[in-house]
Amino acid sequence: MERRILGGTGMSVSELALGTMMFGSWGSPDRRAAHTVIGMALDAGINLVDTADIYGEGGTEEIVGEALRGRRDDVVLATKFHGPMGRDPNHRGNSRRWIMRAVEDSLRRLGTDRIDLYQVHGVDPDTDIDETLSALSDLVRAGKVRAIGTSNFPADQLVEARWTAERRGHVHFRSEQPAYSLLSRSVEMHVLPTAQRHGMGVLAWGPLSAGWLSARDATPGKGRTVLEPQRFDLTVPANAAKARAVSRLRELAAEAGMPLTHLALGFVQAHPAVTSVIIGPRTADQLTDLLAGAGRVLDDGILDRIDGIVPPGSDLNPADNHAVRRLLADPARRRRPGPVRGARGTARR
């Protein structure tokens, strides 16, 4: 399997990475089966394993740690922090207070003394990026973390973080992990070019678009655990548009003599900004299929036809853009506070 250097870190990573979100309570709770899939991936040449503290409420990190016993030195191990790990509002986000607690929890669950790539799992509007970078830089200098990265960051936040790191003398973010697939291409507009311009590695997640591009029939998400069932509701016009696009993409894949999954991987691998594509198999059979798509090269004719089905830089369903969705989730962040109004709409002072 081809290797590439991750964002100037000197760490060599495989062109496919193993995502682990589906191991544990969010997917398959069978720990032994998960260990088997992880072992198969490593034996096939995958050396980048990506997880997050929030997956399975910490259980996924424990599964990964168990599976890597005796093989830890052969793996570039990546995890993430940011999401809520309990009801306490201080047990989430990007503050120094939480980072210092979160990293120790992840190290314990993973059964390791260092994390090769520690990633911020989203933007925290309530925390100054200087605070976040300062804490992460201290972890790098302490040897608990080798490199730092981001996930689901918009381009302007990547630029602000780089400016802050240079001005304040902090460690730079070395990678970004965005959602990128045949059906979700908005990162082509700004995120991927920004990463290229600043020498950041890109770990693209969701190449199968949460199952839309892996279904063998016209029912996306059928037969799999779905964390966000609304993403598969075909009464939603944007989802219906995705279903029509998937039908056309399946026909294109058949004409090209490959499974739709391989067309999906080949498309993401074709972008020059992408360092590694994160696959998230739940079973050994799914892993076997995806491994066969490693190194798939799509010619310009196929890529042009893909552009005709899903325009470059577009998301067929804007709700699939995680970075924007999270930033706009709270209406209070985009509405100026005004006077409290009574039941009849009159202002009360």
Q: Which residues are catalytic?
A: 55
CA-nearest of 61, 110, 112, 108 to 83 is: 61
Please say whether the dihedral angle defined by the alpha carbons of residues 246, 248, 252 and 257, taken in this order, is positive or negative. positive
Contact 61, 16 (CB under 8 A): no
Q: Tokens 């995680």: give the residue.
A: 322
Q: Tokens 């995120």: give the residue.
A: 191
Contacts of 151 (CB under 8 A, 6+ apart): 80, 119, 120, 121, 122, 176, 177, 178, 205
DSSP characters for 86-130? SS-TTSSSS-HHHHHHHHHHHHHHHT-S-EEEEEE-S--TTS-HH
CA distance 276 to 195: 13
CA distance 287 to 309: 27
CA distance 273 to 203: 9
CA distance 210 to 179: 10
